[in-house]
């Protein structure tokens, strides 16, 4: 069975500072990994995903995540955060049943401090 | 392009009243459809998913039910709401295959009083 752990429920960081949001997963089979972002009172938006190939994936707004199979991790990083990055971030791993169910972590609230 | 709609956006209902939340998808055919609940300070809990008309799988036992009367319509219902049903309900769709991401609707904020 798949599961996802996001150890940090809240991460405060100053504007223009780097940030890392941690995600670890457990699975006995190959996985697909996703990061979603949720702004207040909105649905989730896909930030980036790892399917195969290069273990470093990037989003259009400066975030990147690296798939580390040996450490079963998929941490999200940004070298310099902006106020607009304040949101809830969810890591997810795909299941292998026919409906491609996603298993979500409990989320990390990133707060960027001016 | 594909879009997903949910309504209503917010809803306040008394305990014991019925519930009907609707989700529709445009711009794609035969999508997989999902209902999630997000309680305050918690992650997403998958409630139901559907791979086709009339095909519903339930992930957790509860007093909620789901139906898919049309290819791109997914409805979440309850005959009698409980206080614990309060939360943020999200509908999502995806194409088949585990490598495909899910696309989420704007959500419905349900408060049961």
Whole-number pLDDT of residue B97: 64
Whole-number pLDDT of residue B34: 94
Confidence of residue A95 (pLDDT cuts 50, 70, 90): low
B64: Cβ contacts below 8 Å, ≥ 6 apart: B19, B47, B48, B76, B77, B78, B85
The CATH number of residue B35's host domain is 2.60.40.10
Domain count, chain B: 1
* Residue in the block written with tokens 């349900």: B110
* Residue in the block written with tokens 């791979």: B51
DSSP for A57-90? EE-TTS-EEEEETTTTEEEEEESS--GGG-EEEE
The yes-or-no verdict on residue B90 having pLDDT over 80 is yes
With H, G, I as helix, E, B as strand and everything else as coil, classify residue B88: strand
Whole-number pLDDT of residue A100: 62
Window from A58-72, A92-106, B67-81 with minimum mean pLDDT:
A92-106
CA B73 to chain centre: 10
CB-based contact (8 Å) between A40 and chain B? no
Whole-number pLDDT of residue B1: 87
Q: Select from A44, A51, A67 the residue whose CB has the most chain B CBs within 10 Å, as the one to mutate to test that interface.
A: A44
**β-pairing verdict for A73-78 and A64-68:** antiparallel
Q: Which two tokens stand for residue A11?
A: 């991460």
User: Which range marks the domain in which residue B100 is found?
Assistant: 3-112
Q: Mark which residues 28-47 of B lie under 8 Å from A by CB.
A: 32, 34, 41-44, 46
The CATH number of residue A24's host domain is 2.60.40.10
Q: How far is A114 from chain B (nearest CA, A)?
A: 24
Whole-number pLDDT of residue B61: 67
Residue of A nearest to B110 (CA): A41
Number of Cβ atoms within 10 Å of the Cβ of B27? 11
The yes-or-no verdict on residue B98 having pLDDT over 90 is no
The yes-or-no verdict on residue A15 having pLDDT over 90 is yes
Q: Determine whether the interchain pair A43/B99 forms a contact, defined as Cβ–Cβ distance below 8 Å.
A: no
Give the one of A9, A34, A105 whose C-beta lies nearest to B101's C-beta: A34
Please name every residue paired with A64 in a beta bridge, in sequence order, or none if there are none: A58, A77
Q: What is the pLDDT of residues A31-68, one digit of tens each?
A: 789 999 999 888 899 999 988 788 888 888 899 999 99
Domain count, chain A: 1
User: Which range marks the domain in which residue A70 is found?
Assistant: 3-113
The yes-or-no verdict on residue B50 having pLDDT over 70 is yes
The yes-or-no verdict on residue B17 having pLDDT over 80 is yes
Do residues B74 and B32 lie in contact, with contact meaning Cβ atoms separated by under 8 Å?
Answer: no
Confidence of residue A111 (pLDDT cuts 50, 70, 90): very high
């Amino acid at each position: 069975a798949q599961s996802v752990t996001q150890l940090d429920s809240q991460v405060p960081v100053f504007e223009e500072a780097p940030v890392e949001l941690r995600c670890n997963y457990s699975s006995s089979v190959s996985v697909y990994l996703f990061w979603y972002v949720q702004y207040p009172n909105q649905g989730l938006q896909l930030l980036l995903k790892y399917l195969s190939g290069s273990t470093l994936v990037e989003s259009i707004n400066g975030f990147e995540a690296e798939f580390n199979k040996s450490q079963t991790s998929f941490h999200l990083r940004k070298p310099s955060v902006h106020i607009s990055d304040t949101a809830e971030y969810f890591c997810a791993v795909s299941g292998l049943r026919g409906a491609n169910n996603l298993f979500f972590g409990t989320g990390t609230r990133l707060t960027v401090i001016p | 392009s594909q879009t997903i709609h949910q309504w209503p956006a917010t809803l306040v209902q008394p305990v014991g009243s019925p519930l009907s939340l609707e989700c529709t998808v445009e711009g794609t055919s035969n999508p997989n459809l999902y209902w999630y609940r997000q309680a305050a300070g918690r992650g997403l809990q998958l409630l139901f998913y559907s791979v086709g008309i009339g095909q519903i799988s339930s992930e957790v036992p509860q007093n909620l039910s789901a139906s898919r009367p049309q290819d791109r319509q997914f409805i979440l219902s309850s005959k009698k709401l409980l206080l614990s049903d309060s939360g943020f309900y999200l509908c999502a769709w995806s194409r088949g295959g585990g490598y495909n991401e899910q696309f989420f609707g704007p959500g419905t904020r349900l408060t049961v009083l």
